Amino acid sequence: MAGNTIGKLFTVTTFGESHGLALGCIVDGCPPGIELSETDIQADLNRRKPGTSRYTTQRREPDQVKIMSGVFEGKTTGTPIGMIIENTDQKSKDYSNIKDIYRPGHADYTYDHKYGFRDYRGGGRSSARETAMRVAAGAIAKKYLASQGIVVRGYLEQMGDIQIEQFDWDEVQNNPFFCPDSSKVEAMENLINSLRKEGNSIGARISVEATGVMPGLGEPVFDRLDADLAHSLMSINAVKGVEIGAGFESVSQKGTEHRDEITPEGFLSNNAGGILGGISTGQTIKACIVLKPTSSLLVPGQTIDRQGNPAEVVTKGRHDPCVGIRATPIAEAMMAITLMDHLMRHRAQNGDVNAGIPVIPPEV
């Protein structure tokens, strides 16, 4: 399998390059009878869309999704949902400067070794533009999950050295960074502005969580819910790490501190991030990812060309100084797709076997 599909029961298969005719995907396995329209999907696409603020790439794409199949009279039919986003801003610019050069930190060199050559226009298939279809597919998953009481949402936790200190979900949509701490927004604006001047970039840390997940979702061994989340989140461009719950802090925790003790009134903590033994506990599912700083920089860098000669690279053009900024809706989409898949897996094998098992409230 060439790996352009994710999920086992709720599957998403994408196609499309940065500068091809269109991006597209097929969402297969969606339950029938769900109300769905293009506007449901467009809302999330707009959150990811480039060119909406001066802090992200200036490529302007309407990113208008078209549903080609699988919806009839406003409802999903249970058959595959085909979706298309046409590429309209395929600037027919001159790529001769990067065509024969391996940009450091990019997939140019690895694509050439994998395929023998590559579509070099705008990064081709390795462009973050590919994530648009993930967001479109994720919007379907999010809509269905919401009907089951499950809400998936994310936020920016850190940009460079700027870490959030206050938390307000309502603030997340009030700034272009998905930052829940309004007191940090100005510092972030300043950081982006100075990076843009410098021709440089910076990393970011994103949190994403799901509330309302019933206990019992996940598989016991390889397809643990946390392992599948790690897979889907790490598959996002530029992600270099994934944590569940307490994550890397667990290394210096003692067992008495880490284990989440239980009372009839609820769990006393959530170091587990809502997953034990690969299966959901009913607490909030908590994951965290880090995105590297983009390697498309105005600061010149050393590299080689396709003939092996030393070369210098400078990436002009429309680039995000912090690719993590637009990653929040993508991370939400990936978590939603994974949860949707496990919800359906649970129904297939286990149905309603847990009648009579007590339900522990998420948290005291």
Name which of 151 and 360 has its Cβ closer to its own copies.
360
Shortest Å distance, C-beta 307 to its own copies? 7
Shortest Å distance, C-beta 336 to its own copies? 15
Residue 180 labelled as part of a binding site: no
Contacts of 250 by beta carbon, 8 Å cutoff, 6+ apart: 258, 271
Structure tokens at 189: 């604006």
Residue 295 labelled as part of a binding site: yes
> Residue 216 in contact with residue 354, Cβ under 8 Å?
yes
Q: What angle do CA 279, 137, 65 make, to 5 degrees?
A: 165
Residue 13 labelled as part of a binding site: no
Question: Of 281, 288, 195, 285, which Cα lies nearest the Cα of 249?
Answer: 288
Residue 194 labelled as part of a binding site: no
Residue 182 labelled as part of a binding site: no
Question: Of 134, 141, 131, 133, which Cα lies nearest the Cα of 36?
Answer: 141
> Residue 290 in contact with residue 208, Cβ under 8 Å?
no
Structure tokens at 92: 């027919």
> Residue 76 in contact with residue 67, Cβ under 8 Å?
no
Name which of 92 and 302 has its Cβ closer to its own copies.
302
Q: What is the dihedral of CA 25, 31, 32, 34, to 10 degrees?
A: -80
Shortest Å distance, C-beta 216 to its own copies? 4
Residue 238 labelled as part of a binding site: yes
The pair phi, psi for residue 35, each rounded to 5°, is -65, 130
Pairwise CA distance, residues 130 & 23, whole Å: 7
Shortest Å distance, C-beta 7 to its own copies? 9
Residue 300 labelled as part of a binding site: no
Name which of 4 and 173 has its Cβ closer to its own copies.
4
Shortest Å distance, C-beta 208 to its own copies? 14
Name which of 60 and 99 has its Cβ closer to its own copies.
99
Shortest Å distance, C-beta 59 to its own copies? 18
Contacts of 185 by beta carbon, 8 Å cutoff, 6+ apart: 175, 177, 179
Name which of 48 and 345 has its Cβ closer to its own copies.
345
Residue 63 vs residues 40, 52, 60, 141: alpha-carbon distances, Å: 14, 12, 9, 19
Helix (H) or strand (E) run with residue 6 in it: strand 5-6
Shortest Å distance, C-beta 183 to its own copies? 19
Name which of 170 and 248 has its Cβ closer to its own copies.
248
Residue 237 labelled as part of a binding site: yes
Name which of 170 and 251 has its Cβ closer to its own copies.
251
Residue 293 labelled as part of a binding site: yes
Q: What is the largest CA-CA distance in the chain?
A: 69
Annotated binding site: 48, 54, 125-127, 237-238, 277, 292-296, 318
Annotated binding site for FMN: 125-127, 237-238, 277, 292-296, 318
Annotated binding site for NADP(+): 48, 54
